[in-house]
Amino acid sequence: MTATDDVAAALSRAPRAVAYAASGGVRPDGAIEDVSRALRAGAVVVTPSLYGMYDCTHAPAEIRDVLLESMEAGGSITSWGSTRPARCRP
């Protein structure tokens, strides 16, 4: 795939996987929205950007619930974090 900043165009191609590396510290709400969108599109998402999800069992509900709902809607999975990724499935 060619690099693009057109998220809609990239997701319309039904990617099987997305490596999301944008900063979650600078724009946490935007990062949650971006990852959620990719999960709803059915992509497997790998990202270190959502710091609150490094331990999904103790993540803030307002983050975890949105992402788990997106995973369920898209039939997707994800891996969070960089050193000890936790796998969460709805």
Residue that wins the pLDDT comparison between 32 and 23? 32
The structure's pTM equals 0.82
Question: 90 and 56 in contact (C-beta within 8 Å)?
Answer: no
- Sign, CA dihedral 26-50-40-64, equals negative
DSSP 85: P
Return the pLDDT at 43. 93
Identify which of 86, 28, 25, 24 has the alpha carbon closest to the alpha carbon of residue 57. 86
Instruction: Indicate the range of 13-17, 20-24, 86-90 predicted with least confidence.
Output: 86-90
Distance CA 21, CA 43 (A): 15
